[in-house]
């Protein structure tokens, strides 16, 4: 990593907060460089010479990036803390190294969520332009007919002036429940839930099973694991292309 970089990128690269949060913190006068408050997120700093603090805490870049896969159970929120005292995904993993979630799963959705202290990786994986595929299994009470599938794959209005779009790759009925495998490449808030709602479909349960080529593997709910060598190589490859 080059020593000269933008202030907000330095902070997010430390893994403590996202790029967006880094920019917000700087603009709220929460960041100092060599004991001087800096409010320009795009200010140039030297990561080897300058001393940067956030809320008076010195920020140190991670020399080793860590990314883990967590099997999120139902009822846990994708947040570091919650004013209502609800359980968070960070109750399930060690507090060190300091990790942030890559995107979110809502409280009732289960499955794969990535956590990392690599701010650049998180930004790449969540940026809409990169269209990283994420596979889900949605449970419903009946097969989705071809007419609705075509609408969903073309793009369907889901409220708030937005369209939701997903690729339906399979449907299978197991004990009176239809399991629908579908792939998202955008990741709008609650996109699948909104697709089902505006399509007149009942959503019984939702689980994410794949992020890019990364899977849950043998994880059980609440368990986590580090990336395999093959998964690390995959992430290196796609980020180099981006």
Q: Is residue 66 packed enough to be buried (19+ CB in 10 Å), middle (13-18) or exposed (0-12)?
A: middle
For residue 66, pLDDT beyond 80: yes
d(CA 16, CA 116): 10
Mark whether 114 and 234 lie in a shared domain.
Answer: yes
Range of the domain at 191: 133-211
11-31 pLDDT, tens digit each: 887 777 778 889 999 999 999
Single out the catalytic residue among 44, 56, 106, 118.
106
Q: Strands 36-37 and 52-54: what pairing?
A: unpaired
Do residues 123 and 153 share a domain?
no
For the chain, how many structural domains are there in total? Answer: 3
In the residue annotation, 120 being an active-site residue is answered as: no
- 114 and 141, same domain (yes or no): no
Do 159 and 112 fall within a single domain? no
pTM: 0.81
Note the pLDDT tens digit of each residue in 68-124: 999 999 999 998 778 888 999 999 998 766 788 999 999 999 999 999 988 788 889
Answer yes or no: do 90 and 119 share one domain: yes
Structure tokens belonging to residue 18: 């996202």
The CATH number assigned to the domain holding 43 equals: 3.10.290.10
Strand-pair category, 205-211 with 110-116: parallel
């Amino acid at each position: 990593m080059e020593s000269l970089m933008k202030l907000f990128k330095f902070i997010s690269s430390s893994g403590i907060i996202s790029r967006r949060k880094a920019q917000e913190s700087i603009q709220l006068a929460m960041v100092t460089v060599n004991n001087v408050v800096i409010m320009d997120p795009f200010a140039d700093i030297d990561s080897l010479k300058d001393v940067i603090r956030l809320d008076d805490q010195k920020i140190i870049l991670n020399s080793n990036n860590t990314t883990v896969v967590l099997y999120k159970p139902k009822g846990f929120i994708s947040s570091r803390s919650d004013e209502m005292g609800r359980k968070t995904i960070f109750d399930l993993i060690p507090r060190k190294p300091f990790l942030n979630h890559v995107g979110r799963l809502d409280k009732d959705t289960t499955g794969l969520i990535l956590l990392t202290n690599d701010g650049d990786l998180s930004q790449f994986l969540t940026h809409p332009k990169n269209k990283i595929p994420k596979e889900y299994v949605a449970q419903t009470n009946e097969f989705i007919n071809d007419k609705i599938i075509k609408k969903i794959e073309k793009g369907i209005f889901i409220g708030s002036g937005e369209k939701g779009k997903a690729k339906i790759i399979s449907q299978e009925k197991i004990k009176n429940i239809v399991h629908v495998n579908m792939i998202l490449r955008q990741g709008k808030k609650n996109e699948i839930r909104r697709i089902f709602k505006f399509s007149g479909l009942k959503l019984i349960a939702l689980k994410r099973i794949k992020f890019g080529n990364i899977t849950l593997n043998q994880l059980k709910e609440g368990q986590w694991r580090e990336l395999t060598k093959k998964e690390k190589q995959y992430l290196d490859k796609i980020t180099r292309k981006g």
